[in-house]
Amino acid sequence: MYGFVNLTERGTQSTSLSIQTLFNGINLDLEISDEEGSFTTLTVSGRANLSNRINTFEVPGMNGLMESNEQNTSEREITVKYKISDKTNVGFRRRTTLLNSLLEGSKKVLSFTDEEAIYYATLSENELPEESSNNLVGTLTFLCSDPNKYGPETPIIFSGDSAVVDTLGSAESEPIFEMEVLAPITFAMIQNQFDEYMMIGRPTPVESTPKEEYTLLLSDAMNTLTGWAAATTVTEGYIRGEIETDGASFRPRSFGIAVAPEKWQGPGLVKSLPEEVQDFEMDCVIGNHNVGWGTGMIEVYLLDTLDRQVARIHMSDSWPGSDRIDGRVQLGYDQYQRFPYITSAPNNIKNWNNFYGLMKLQRRGNRWWFYFAKIVDGKRVYVQHKHYIPPVGGIFEDKIAKVQVIFRKWPNTEATRMNIYNLKFWRINSLAEDEVPIIANPGDIITFDHKNEEILINGEDAKNLKDFGASYFTLKKGENQLILHPSDSFSASGYYRDSYK
């Protein structure tokens, strides 16, 4: 049931009593309402407003101004008038605080229940009048730096290496492509009939040879203890207790009786590599569910043939009275042993809490790379990393012969919930000038995100592989013809949203 519309107000205004506001996937009218109080969307304005930025210049002897052929659409501003109420003063304050917390973030999806469209919006102001009661009418003002509105997600269906997409919007759309690799490739490319393309890597000339730059030596899904032996080496602590598998991960079964003097202690397992390795990369997917628990440390050691520590990397919650996870890397086993990297989550130390993500170590010659990232919806977020060259030549260069995993906690504290889900180890091969590196192998997922301008391989940033002439092209109004290269190398899909001014 719709009420009257004030036709004197600028822009289209909805006065539906049933309209609700959704921001960042959360329905504000439902989330902030209960039996004690409520949030109610009253009106929305600005969704149909259109403002063009017209470039003009003066011409001597000409009346008025000359308009440039180029014309841009200005940003959009959407205003939501709402009512918020509660039975008590305390409840009212809590409700307004909750509202503000739900409106955080930049370029989040904003939508309304009376329209099948979304906007990318950032809150610029939440204005409430003087708090003279627990029942007030306020205004939310959202800035849409991208002025367009977008329809529902529409899939892009590939038939083999090609797809035809007919867009229905009044503006160009920004697609997202996902390609599962079916055969080893040195490049991945998608192009349209307008000679626009996105590409990573490079094709292999007939006189050159594609070569595997990364040779996988170990890939363990942590679903069996077979092949693993009891660990014997630990730094600054004790090996105690047992590790078990739940079929999808390793986890600690016990940590043993506390040892004096108290230090970090827990169970560990070690596995030999099929060969000694100089240049390498090690990736380990872990989980450390720490909020509300005590202490917990997940470690991966890289050892030489004598079980000496060449490097170790770990993520731990070391504060029994506070929820916080830090990452750390230590190199060496003698007088040069040192922590060249100690870090926490970017922007906010709490961002790594209840961590599910990746720890990575890489060495090429004397150059190390340390890497930590949380994984959310398949993407690496809250990334911290560092390239490191030791200050003294010839140290930290011992070959890697074994990989060791250890779970530890501080004695007499409750352990966090720790898991290791996957561990991979590659040998990095040197390439000659006439050899072209293979950039992806069967099972890898390549993402070309033309909306957010991201290039990902298995969720990890791969912009360093982008071809110089490649671009994040759009889907034009009408028919778009898409072709994948190299042929027969991908199982591809994608989606887009029709875009409207």
Q: What is the pLDDT of residues 359-406, one digit of tens each?
A: 999 999 999 999 999 999 888 999 999 999 998 888 999 999 999 999
User: Which pTM does this prediction carry?
Assistant: 0.79
Residues forming CATH 2.60.120.200 domain(s) in the chain? 214-428
Q: What architecture (CATH level 2) is domain 13-147?
A: Beta Barrel (2.40)
b/e map of 471-501 (b: 16 or more CB within 10 Å)?
ebbbbbbeebebbbbeeebbebebbbbbbee
Compute how many other C-beta atoms are within 10 angstroms of the C-beta atom of residue 444: 16
pLDDT band at 10 (very low <50, low <70, confident <90, very high): very low
Percent of the chain with pLDDT over 70: 96
Residues forming CATH 2.40.30.200 domain(s) in the chain? 13-147
172: DSSP letter: -
Give pLDDT tens digits for 279-335.
999 999 999 999 999 999 999 999 999 999 999 999 999 998 899 999 999 999 987
pLDDT the model gives residue 7? 31
Q: Which residues are registered as beta bridge partners of 139? A: 81, 127
- Cα gap 98→93, rounded to integer Å: 9
- Cα gap 306→300, rounded to integer Å: 17
Give pLDDT tens digits for 458-499.
988 999 999 999 999 999 999 999 999 999 999 999 999 999
pLDDT band at 9 (very low <50, low <70, confident <90, very high): very low
Task: Specify burial of residue 422 (Cβ count, 10 A radius: 0-12, 13-18, 19+).
Answer: middle
Residue ranges with strand state E in 173-249:
176-181, 187-192, 197-201, 209-212, 214-220, 229-230, 237-239, 242-245
61: DSSP letter: T
Residues contacting 48, CB < 8 A, separation 6+: 11, 12
Q: Which CATH class is domain 150-212+438-500?
A: mainly beta
Residues contacting 182, CB < 8 A, separation 6+: 442, 488, 489, 490, 491
CATH topology of domain 214-428: Jelly Rolls (2.60.120)
User: How far apart, in Å, are the Cα atoms of 481 and each of 36, 159, 420, 474?
Assistant: 55, 12, 44, 12
Structure tokens that stand for 404 in this block: 């060791």
pLDDT band at 17 (very low <50, low <70, confident <90, very high): low
- Cα gap 500→151, rounded to integer Å: 8
Assess contact for 341 and 329: CB atoms under 8 A: yes
Assess contact for 404 and 143: CB atoms under 8 A: no
93: DSSP letter: H
pLDDT the model gives residue 255? 97
Does 353 have pLDDT greater than 50? yes
- Cα gap 65→492, rounded to integer Å: 50
Residues forming CATH 2.60.120.860 domain(s) in the chain? 150-212+438-500
Q: Which residues are registered as beta bridge partners of 403? A: 271, 302
Structure tokens that stand for 324 in this block: 């916080």
How much is the CA Rg of the chain, to the nearest whole Å? 28
Assess contact for 427 and 329: CB atoms under 8 A: no
* Three-class DSSP category at 28: helix
What mean pLDDT is reported for the chain? 92
Does 4 have pLDDT greater than 70? no
89: DSSP letter: H
Does 431 have pLDDT greater than 50? yes
